[in-house]
């Protein structure tokens, strides 16, 4: 039986690459986000690349009251339902410093919005006895640092949530993959200073699908970020607090 | 939209330019960028066609989706940043192919339109622009759809128009119905120039191209291998894995003795009696795409490609050009000869009925003077050189090669009066008039 992926944050470059990779393998996609014209274009592209079903659905991480119709649409589909979360926002830390109210939006996009959606989806995965949740976190969530610690905190919360959800869904045949990308070549990183070893979204999408197939728990992508973060996580706090990285 | 300052180059890497690039990911971002500068895509043009030194450009590679396809009529609507090879890979299993495909599948739809590219079927099926049913230009007020019927002049000036009428956002392409799981390719040795030309002239196949040993001289001058291909149904043979050239090759990698030995082996690879092979279609249409970054084989100085087309009757002139290349000892293994048909769709389209020759030259000191001499011979013969390949021609040569230049200029100046779309190539050749 076929798999349908609900893809939250479907307009992002990583999500688009992931949706196409799913389509090429014959899977179906529901692309969820706010820019309906853009999502409709990606959906059409996915159909032409082999997706039996590809639709755009309205989703705003900051407005959980709108989640109902998506969940109903998913409930009506037969076969396996899986979810991939690509939502997130990273305003410059300086803007957050100037306006702390921005923190709520960052948390909603990167953590509370997707968590509320997944919380409502979890029973469906449990009932059907299969399905995977892919949660895209960030290496920024591994340690708080000067440049983006609010974004990092939201991603850290999401990592912890995903670990708990994995613990829960594993009991009924479901699975959760936590993905921690390093620098990916997207609109978010385009033109930012200090970028290095930037990965292509297609490569990240391929590594996510490989992790889903192998039922990996936590992956860094590209893989060398595991080593980089191993070092960064182990720098003692008295030293780390003085670093500007 | 954030701008990224980058040093970019064309595929030949001989000319570089610092340019500020924006890279929109959604159509709605395009309106705000429509007047900022010219579009660029995968930068597969060899020279400076995609460069805008000290200025801005809009990189279209993320707007690469297929928007709709009518399986009855074969009409595909697609964003301009989509790559031809991706379209072929997605739609060939359903029995459709882009009507014209250039020699690399990495070229974008926008680039194929802006250069009115041709393929191995030009003699029968014409140029890329002849299969464009409509296109959409980005403007600050939103997308503007034009067709050959609604805006014949602007449409014609956009095809082969080097991006000067504005950023192409999307296009509607008439695909061609073809059973194309695989391609049957017949390869035949041709022993000299006369046989080469005669074989190309007599070829009946849909796809025809000649590889020319540009180092062979004397009796063997112009020898090579003629390939003829027809697509068909069948089991697809396994495609080899793509490889990447990891670093710039040293200068001797493509020195004259190495190229001579390589060409000899390449020529002898095909049995004297010829042979027929079944290949995955990508291997035939885009033979070099499996070697990513193959331009690095030419080292860090890069390379130039010379491509001309000469009128049908100019065989003596063509032979003289091949001879000049062969005796120079500068050619690389990449050299192609093809019989072109008359098909072209824009004022500045390259094709004319006749013979087109393309040769790569490593960017050594002697290469530029040789290419300039070849361009001179081309102009004398009433031929043309190809904007997608050129980096060395001068403005005075343009009017003779492109007689419709004045018409084009008038239409383009109306579409882009402030000349925001100009590129390094357009300025170098003064295509839009003196600066």
Query: Would you list the DSSP string of A2-43?
Result: -EEEEEETTTSHHHHHHHHHHHHTT-EEEEEES-HHHHHHHH
Contacts of A191 in chain B (CB under 8 A): 2-5
Please answer yes or no on whether B67 and A45 come within 8 Å at the CB atom. Answer: yes
Work out the pLDDT band at B255, boundaries 50, 70, 90: confident
The residue with tokens 């609109």 is A187
3-state secondary structure of A47: helix
Instruction: Please count the helices (runs of H) and the strands (runs of E) in chain B.
Output: 13, 21
Interval B67-125: pLDDT, tens: 999 999 999 999 999 999 999 999 999 999 999 999 999 999 999 999 999 999 999 99
When the pLDDT of each residue in chain B is averaged and rounded to a whole number, the result is 95
The structural architecture, per CATH, of the domain B66-178+400-417 is 2-Layer Sandwich (3.30)
Please answer yes or no on whether A37 and B90 come within 8 Å at the CB atom. Answer: no
What's the CATH number of domain B182-394, 2.40.30.170, 3.30.70.2520, 3.40.50.2300, 3.30.43.10? 3.30.70.2520
Contacts of B198 (CB under 8 A, 6+ apart): none
Q: What is the mean pLDDT of residues A209-219?
A: 97
- CATH code 3.40.50.720 for A3-240: yes
Residue of B nearest to A24 (CA): B90
Contacts of B66 in chain A (CB under 8 A): 44-45, 48-49
Check: complex ipTM more than 0.95: no
Query: Would you list the DSSP string of A198-232?
Result: PBPHHHHHHHHHHHHHTT-SEEEESTTHHHHHHHH
B293 — contact with chain A (CB < 8 Å)? no
Residue B379 confidence (pLDDT): 97
CB A5 within 8 A of CB A193: no
Q: Residues 78-107, chain B: which have Cβ within 8 Å of A? A: 79, 90-91
From B234-243, B253-262, B289-298, the region with the lowest mean pLDDT:
B234-243
Please answer yes or no on whether A37 and B27 come within 8 Å at the CB atom. Answer: yes
In chain A, what are the domain boundaries?
3-240
Residue of B nearest to A45 (CA): B66
The residue with tokens 């090759």 is B249
Report the residue from A44, A187, A191 with minimal CB separation from B25: A187
d(CA B238, CA B260) in angstroms, rounded, equals 31
3-state secondary structure of B410: helix
d(CA A2, CA A100) in angstroms, rounded, equals 45
Q: Which residues of A touch B (CB under 8 A)?
A: 11, 13, 16, 35, 37-38, 41-42, 44-45, 48-50, 186-187, 190-192
State the virtual CA torsion across B296, B297, B303, B304 in degrees, nearest 10: -110
Residue B284 has pLDDT above 80, yes or no: yes
Both tokens of residue B189? Answer: 């040795």
Residue A192 has pLDDT above 90, yes or no: no
Work out the number of other CB atoms within 10 angstroms of the CB of residue A63.
Answer: 12
Q: Residues 261-280, chain B: which have Cβ within 8 Å of A? A: none
Please answer yes or no on whether A190 and B67 come within 8 Å at the CB atom. Answer: no
From A88-97, B82-91, B341-350, the region with the lowest mean pLDDT:
A88-97
d(CA A135, CA A242) in angstroms, rounded, equals 31
Please answer yes or no on whether B26 and A35 come within 8 Å at the CB atom. Answer: yes
3-state secondary structure of B243: strand
Query: Would you list the DSSP string of A155-190?
Result: HHHHHHHHHHHHHHHGGGT-EEEEEEE-SBSSTTTT
Question: Which of B3, B66, B81, B83 should one mutate to test binding to chain A, selecting the residue with the greatest count of A CBs within 10 A?
Answer: B66
Please answer yes or no on whether A48 and B91 come within 8 Å at the CB atom. Answer: yes
pTM: 0.95
Please answer yes or no on whether A191 and B3 come within 8 Å at the CB atom. Answer: yes
Contacts of B68 in chain A (CB under 8 A): 44
Both tokens of residue B270? Answer: 């095909």
Residue A1 has pLDDT above 60, yes or no: no
Residue B331 confidence (pLDDT): 86
Please answer yes or no on whether A44 and B28 come within 8 Å at the CB atom. Answer: no
Work out the pLDDT band at B435, boundaries 50, 70, 90: low
Please answer yes or no on whether A45 and B4 come within 8 Å at the CB atom. Answer: no
Interval A131-149: pLDDT, tens: 999 999 999 999 998 989 9
Work out the pLDDT band at B236, boundaries 50, 70, 90: confident
């Amino acid at each position: 039986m076929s798999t349908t992926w609900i893809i939250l944050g479907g307009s992002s470059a990583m999500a688009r690459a992931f949706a196409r990779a799913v389509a090429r393998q014959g899977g179906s996609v529901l692309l969820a986000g706010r820019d309906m014209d853009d999502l409709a274009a990606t959906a059409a592209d996915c159909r032409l690349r082999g997706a039996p079903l590809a639709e755009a659905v309205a989703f705003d991480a900051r407005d959980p009251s709108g989640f109902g119709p998506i969940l109903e649409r998913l409930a009506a589909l037969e076969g396996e339902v899986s979810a991939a979360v690509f939502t997130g926002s990273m305003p410059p830390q300086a803007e957050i410093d100037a306006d702390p109210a921005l923190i709520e939006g960052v948390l909603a996009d990167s953590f509370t919005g997707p968590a509320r959606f997944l919380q409502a989806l979890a029973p469906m995965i449990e009932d059907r006895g299969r399905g995977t949740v892919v949660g895209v976190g960030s290496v920024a969530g591994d340690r708080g640092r000067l440049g983006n610690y609010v974004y990092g905190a939201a991603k850290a919360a999401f990592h912890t949530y995903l670990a708990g959800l994995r613990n829960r869904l594993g009991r009924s045949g479901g699975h959760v993959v936590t993905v921690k990308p390093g620098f990916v070549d997207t609109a978010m990183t385009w033109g930012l200073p200090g970028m290095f070893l930037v990965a292509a979204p297609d490569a990240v999408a391929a590594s996510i699908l490989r992790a889903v197939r192998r039922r990996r728990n936590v992956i860094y992508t590209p893989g060398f970020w595991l080593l980089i973060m191993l070092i960064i996580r182990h720098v003692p706090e008295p030293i780390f607090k003085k670093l500007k990285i | 939209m954030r701008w990224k300052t980058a040093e970019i180059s064309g595929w030949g890497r001989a000319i570089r330019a610092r340019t500020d690039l924006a890279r929109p990911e959604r159509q709605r971002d395009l309106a705000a960028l429509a007047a900022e500068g010219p579009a660029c895509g995968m930068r597969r043009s060899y020279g400076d066609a995609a460069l805008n030194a000290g200025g801005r450009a809009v990189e279209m590679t993320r707007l690469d989706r297929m928007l709709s396809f009518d399986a009855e009529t074969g009409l595909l609507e697609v964003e301009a940043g989509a790559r031809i090879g991706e379209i072929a890979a997605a739609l060939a299993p359903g029995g459709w192919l882009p009507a014209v495909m250039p020699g690399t599948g990495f070229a974008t739809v926008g680039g194929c339109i802006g250069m009115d590219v041709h393929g191995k079927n030009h003699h029968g099926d014409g140029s890329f622009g002849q299969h464009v049913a409509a296109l959409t230009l980005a403007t600050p007020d939103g997308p503007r759809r034009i067709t050959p019927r609604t805006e014949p002049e602007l449409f014609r000036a956009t095809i082969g128009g080097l991006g000067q009428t504005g950023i192409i956002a999307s296009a509607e392409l008439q695909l061609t119905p073809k059973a194309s799981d695989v391609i049957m390719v017949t390869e035949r040795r041709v022993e000299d120039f006369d046989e080469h030309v005669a074989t190309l002239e007599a070829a009946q196949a849909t796809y025809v191209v000649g590889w020319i040993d540009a180092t062979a001289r004397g009796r063997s001058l112009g020898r090579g291998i003629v390939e003829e291909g027809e697509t068909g149904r069948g089991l697809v043979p396994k495609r080899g894995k793509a490889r990447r050239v990891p670093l710039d090759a040293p200068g001797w990698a493509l020195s004259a003795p190495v190229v001579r030995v390589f060409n000899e082996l390449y020529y002898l690879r095909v049995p004297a009696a010829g042979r027929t092979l079944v290949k995955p279609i990508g291997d035939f249409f885009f033979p070099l795409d499996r070697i990513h970054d193959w331009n690095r084989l030419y080292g860090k100085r890069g390379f130039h490609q010379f491509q001309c087309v000469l009128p049908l009757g100019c065989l003596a002139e063509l032979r003289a050009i091949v001879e000049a290349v062969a005796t120079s000892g500068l050619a690389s293994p990449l050299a192609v000869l093809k019989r072109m048909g008359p098909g072209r769709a824009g004022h500045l389209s390259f094709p004319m009925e006749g013979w087109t020759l393309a040769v790569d030259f490593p960017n050594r000191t002697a290469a530029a003077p040789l290419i300039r001499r070849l361009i001179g011979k081309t102009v004398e013969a009433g031929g043309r050189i190809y904007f997608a390949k050129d980096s060395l021609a001068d403005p005075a040569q343009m009017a003779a090669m492109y007689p419709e230049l004045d018409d084009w200029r008038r239409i383009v100046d109306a579409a882009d009066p402030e000349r925001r779309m100009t590129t390094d190539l357009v300025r170098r050749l003064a295509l839009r008039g003196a600066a």
